[in-house]
Amino acid sequence: MIGHLAWHEQVVWLTTAQGQTPVPELNELATRKPASTPSIEEMWRAWHTVTQAADRYLDTLTTEQLQDHYEVQGKPLPEDIGTSLQRLIYHYWYHLGESQVVRRLLGHTGLYAYVGRWGTIPPYRPDV
């Protein structure tokens, strides 16, 4: 899950937005290859590398930019940048809930409640 979320952040905020892929090994996790269990330490290092770079970029975005669309091969993506940000947040929430289930199955106690199903992700709406 850690590598998967790092891959998602990398592909959106670094590769698509800035043409950078600092941890190309993460692409191996998302290319329909057989399931694997990479080292947790390796995935945490990758996650920290990607999220630190992504945060530096995200901190620069304005409300106007969140309404823009990234382009891939000269064509705008259908979803604006703000909606991509919301999608990534919801993606984290989903996997946090999933990790809680795994922890319960392992017998861990004192866990927080999962936030529940979101259904259709609402689009980004700039401050009015």
- pLDDT tens for 39-48 read 999 999 999 9
Is 78 within a domain?
yes
Our count of domains for the chain comes to 1
pLDDT at 117: 52
pLDDT tens digits, one per residue of 76-116: 999 999 999 999 999 998 888 888 888 899 999 888 765 55
State yes or no: pLDDT of 49 exceeds 80: yes
Q: Is the pTM of this model over 0.75?
A: yes
Cα–Cα nearest to 53, from 4, 12, 94, 96: 12
Is 63 within a domain?
yes
State yes or no: pLDDT of 128 exceeds 80: no
**CA 87 to CA 116: how far, in whole Å?**
15
Q: Which range of residues forms the domain containing residue 48?
A: 2-105
Look at 125 and 58; give whichever has higher pLDDT: 58
Is 64 within a domain?
yes
